[in-house]
Amino acid sequence: MDLVLSRVAKNFGGLRAVFDVSFTVKKGTIFGLIGPNGAGKTTVFNLITGVYKSDEGSIHFGSHNLGPLKPAQIARAGIARTFQNIRLFSQLTVIENLLVACELQKRAHLAAAILRLPVYYEDENTMHGRAMDLLRVFDLDGVADEPSTSLPYGNQRRLEIARAMMLEPKLLLLDEPAAGMNYGEAEGLKVQIRWLRDTFDLSIVLVEHNMQVVMGVCEDIHVLDHGETIAHGTPEQVRTHPKVIAAYLGEDNSEFNTDGSAA
């Protein structure tokens, strides 16, 4: 299923956070959404996942019109995400974090759980098994029963991805997955992102500042600045695009030259 944004706009009071943004994420691609700080990348994520409602334009995912849907319904439609500032369920253990994410796939509802019907045990068995499989993939199975906040930062990021994968999404939105990672960890992340796409047959949209990761894995890149699209294309096209260079480095280099720091 393709994700199609057409002419999406969002204002916060007088601030134009996103304006006239259109792009299509084709099924199975790894798509990069980049831009300087404050370009509106995370706002776009929040619009896709229904945290914010767009003021103009439309967002479609396959046959679903995401416009009127609530965040939980969008998650059910097969879109999972991670967050820029990690949002784990801090009082819950690592595996419980994953188990919350499959609540909507269960057949056993509250009454069945209270009566401990066979279907409850079947569900718990299946979900627990799936959660452990995912934790093994992300090398977190050893800490399954630890409180989620006791994990080091990088593992918390990976746990967030694992939790998102528990939804069996068709589209995965990763908000700065490489933040705070060193060179080696970022290389590992690149491998994991490709592996996720190939293994689970999904599309991935990546918001990321780490160019090593973006240029390394993305097949299609969309560049925002001040809420507007300034470029779109393959990594090579984007890397050499004059507007992108201007947005990241500044158009006028005279400031750098006067204090000599650009030398």
Partner 1 sequence: MSANRSESERHEAAKRSLSPKRVAAAAGVFVVVLFLDFFLNVILPDSSIRQLLMLAACNVLAALSLNVINGMAGQFSIGHAGFLGIGAYTSAVIASHMHHFFGGGEPSFARSFAIVPACLCASAIVAGFFGFLVGLPSLRLRGDYLAIVTLGFAEIFRLIIATAQADSGNGQSVMGRISAAISSLGGQNGYQGIGNDGIPLYAGPFWVFGLAALLGLVAWRIKFSGWGRALRGLREDEIAAAAVGVDPTRYKVTSFVIAAAGGGIAGGLSAIMRDGLGIVNPDNYNFQTSFDAITMVILGGSGSVTGSAMGGVFVTFTVKAIELLQGSSVVQDLRVSVEWLDLNALRMIVYAMVIIALMIVRPEGLLGERELFGKRRAVQR
Report the interface residues with partner 1, using CB under 8 A. 49-51, 70-73, 75-76, 80-81, 83, 87-92, 96-97, 99-101, 103-104, 106, 108-110, 113-125, 127-129, 132, 163-164, 166-167
Measured from the CB of residue 30, what is the shortest distance to partner 1 in angstroms?
A: 20
Rounded CA gap, 41 and 111, in Å? 42
Nearer to partner 1, 71 or 233 (CB): 71
Nearer to partner 1, 79 or 215 (CB): 79
3-class SS at 217?
A: helix
Q: Going by DSSP bridges, is the β-strand pair 3-12/171-175 parallel, antiparallel, or unpaired?
A: unpaired
Measured from the CB of residue 55, what is the shortest distance to partner 1 in angstroms?
A: 20
Measured from the CB of residue 153, what is the shortest distance to partner 1 in angstroms?
A: 17
Measured from the CB of residue 82, what is the shortest distance to partner 1 in angstroms?
A: 9
Nearer to partner 1, 110 or 263 (CB): 110
Q: Tell me which residue of 98, 85, 79 sits closest to 171, measured CA to CA.
A: 79
In 96-225, the DSSP E strands lie at 171-175, 203-207, 220-225
Rounded CA gap, 74 and 234, in Å? 28
3-class SS at 113?
A: helix
Measured from the CB of residue 161, what is the shortest distance to partner 1 in angstroms?
A: 12
Containing H/E element for 144? Answer: none
- Per-residue b or e along 7-28, where b marks 16 or more CB atoms closer than 10 Å to that residue's CB: ebbbeeeeebbbbebebebeee
Nearer to partner 1, 20 or 124 (CB): 124
Nearer to partner 1, 157 or 190 (CB): 157
